[in-house]
């Protein structure tokens, strides 16, 4: 008998294979379960819909591996791992990046990154209200998640031409320099 984790992984693998064959919008739950060799109700024991499959895969394959590095303040290494893991499944992520609307890959990725960053920030910061009521862990995590997603999706649209290390360096630079510093460096 398969464990819950095995069945989830089987469904995620099935979904990933289908994404490489047909557009995400056209993939049905029945196709996912047929490919996985399970009955349709099994899918709903694990996921609400195919978008939750994407979210779970991003959390498992991208965010969770980064968290150990973040917890040890190895931020450049966490960025490199993020881009390396995206590059491993580049065709899958390129196809997913074509999704638009409320359940776009960009929105799902931003939420997953924000959740991971929020866990990191909350472990490091006392949750007292500071002098600036807008500088909260939630706002901070959201800002950086959106910034990281911008870099990720610009990279994906450019066919992942730069190396994961180059992308890590870019993220590190953008996150640690003010706009004025960056403009001076471009002169």
- pLDDT tens for residues 9-29? 999 999 999 999 999 999 999
Mean pLDDT of the chain: 90
Q: Are residues 68 and 18 in the same domain?
A: no
What phi and psi, each to the nearest 5 degrees, are found at residue 125?
-120, 135
**Same domain, residue pair 55 and 22:** no
The span from the CA of 106 to the CA of 153, in Å, is 7
Statement to judge: residues 105 and 34 lie in one domain: no
pLDDT at 112: 94
With beta carbons less than 8 A apart as the criterion, state whether 1 and 19 touch.
no
Q: What is the pTM of this model?
A: 0.87
| Measured CA distances, 85 to 81, 164, 170 (Å) | 6, 9, 17
Based on the fold, state whether residues 118 and 134 are members of the same structural domain.
yes
SS3 5: helix
The confidence band for 136, taking pLDDT boundaries of 50, 70 and 90, is confident
> Is 19:91 a contact under the CB 8 Å cutoff?
no
Q: Residue range 86-94: average pLDDT?
A: 94
Domain containing residue 34: CATH number: 1.10.10.60
Q: Are residues 148 and 170 in the same domain?
A: yes
Indicate if 82 and 169 belong to the same structural domain: yes
Closest CA to 54 of 45, 67, 42, 63: 63
What pLDDT, on the 0 to 100 scale, is given for residue 123?
Answer: 84
110 plus 151 within the same structural domain: yes
User: How confident is the model over 57-67, as pLDDT tens digits?
Assistant: 999 999 999 99
Are 32 and 118 found together in one domain? no
Measured CA to CA, the distance from residue 121 to residue 127 in angstroms comes to 10
Number of folded domains in the chain? 2
Q: What number is the average pLDDT over the span 86-115?
A: 92
Domain that holds residue 5: 1-47
pLDDT at 128: 57
């Amino acid at each position: 008998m398969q464990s819950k984790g095995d069945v989830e992984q089987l469904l995620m693998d099935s979904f990933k294979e289908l994404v490489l064959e047909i557009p995400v919008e056209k993939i049905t739950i029945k196709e996912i379960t047929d490919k996985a060799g399970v009955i349709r109700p099994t899918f709903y024991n694990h996921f609400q819909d195919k978008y939750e499959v994407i979210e779970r895969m991003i959390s498992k394959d991208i965010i969770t591996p980064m968290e150990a590095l973040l917890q040890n303040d190895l931020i450049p290494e966490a960025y490199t791992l993020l881009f390396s893991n995206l590059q491993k499944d580049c065709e899958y992520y390129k196809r997913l990046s074509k999704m638009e609307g409320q359940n776009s890959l960009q929105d799902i990725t931003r939420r997953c990154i924000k959740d991971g960053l929020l866990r990191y920030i909350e472990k490091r910061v006392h949750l007292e209200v500071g002098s600036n009521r807008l500088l909260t862990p939630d706002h901070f995590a959201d800002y950086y998640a959106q910034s990281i997603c911008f870099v990720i999706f610009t990279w994906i649209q450019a066919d992942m031409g730069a190396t994961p290390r180059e992308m890590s360096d870019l993220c590190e630079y953008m996150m640690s320099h003010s706009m004025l510093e960056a403009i001076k460096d471009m002169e």
